[in-house]
Amino acid sequence: MALGTMAFSPAVHAEDEAPDALIKRLSVDVLDTIKADKAIRAGDMGRVVTLVDTRIMPNVNFQRMTASAVGPGWRQATPEQQKRLQDEFKTLLVRTYAGALAQVSDQTIAMKPLRAAPEDKEVVVRTEVKGRGDSIQLDYRLEKTPGIGAGWKIYNLNVLGVWLVETYRSQFAQQINAKGIDGLIDSLTEQNKANAKKG
């Protein structure tokens, strides 16, 4: 009986988990995995990408993140274009995040106090990555999602004072204005191919 209860507890836990507790759990999990995995510490980018894809990405509202980054052009995109944008943007973000994680060795995460009311549907969780050298500010915007897979999902990330979605939105707007949605998709595809070659 106890085993059956344990098997179902993570789903209940995820729904009830506070947003700062989620970020802390994910951060500690990822840092511990990096510290324990010699291949990741040796710079095996494939292993880092897999780590980000399996541990971080299930906790991200990727459609909202992509739609926000694409801006008004998202509504003009066909469902097929939206899917391609999401796929290419995800690849770009996974590699960007993985590149940052590949530099991690002895870092720890310090959580800042959460300023939120229990009924809030959107919050900002502030953290600081501490290690050798300067500490890095890393903040997360999360939203509470209802329904299947309910719980807190990340939809924006702030690294060193810069929100990722806003940064990409200005770049994407220039590309959409110059070459349309397909031009943006082509540009992201090329960027991802170039990043993959770099390893």
- Taking residues 47-70, report their average pLDDT: 89
State the greatest distance between any 2 C-alpha atoms of the chain, in Å, as a whole number. Answer: 62
Q: Where are the alpha helices (DSSP H) in 52-163?
A: 62-70, 73-76, 79-101
Residue 15's pLDDT band, with cuts at 50, 70 and 90, is: low
Give the model's pLDDT for residue 2.
39
Q: Where are the alpha helices (DSSP H) in 72-120?
A: 73-76, 79-101
Give the model's pLDDT for residue 4.
39
Residue 118 DSSP SS3:
coil
- Sole residue written with tokens 């995109």: 77
Give the model's pLDDT for residue 10.
41
- Full set of structural domains in the chain with CATH: 2-198 (3.10.450.710)
* Phi-psi region at 112: left, alpha or beta (left = phi > 0; alpha = psi -120 to 50): beta
Question: Residue 124 pLDDT more than 60?
Answer: yes
Task: Give yes or no for a contact between 108 and 128, defined as CB atoms under 8 angstroms apart.
Answer: no
Give the model's pLDDT for residue 1.
38
Look up residue 59 and give its two tokens: 């906790």
- Taking residues 136-141, report their average pLDDT: 89
Task: Give yes or no for a contact between 111 and 127, defined as CB atoms under 8 angstroms apart.
Answer: yes
Among 42-46, 127-131, 176-180, name the one with the lowest average pLDDT.
42-46
Q: Which amino acid is at 101?
A: L
Residues 6+ apart with CB under 8 A from 20: 111, 114, 125
Q: Which residue has the higher pLDDT, 74 or 51?
A: 74
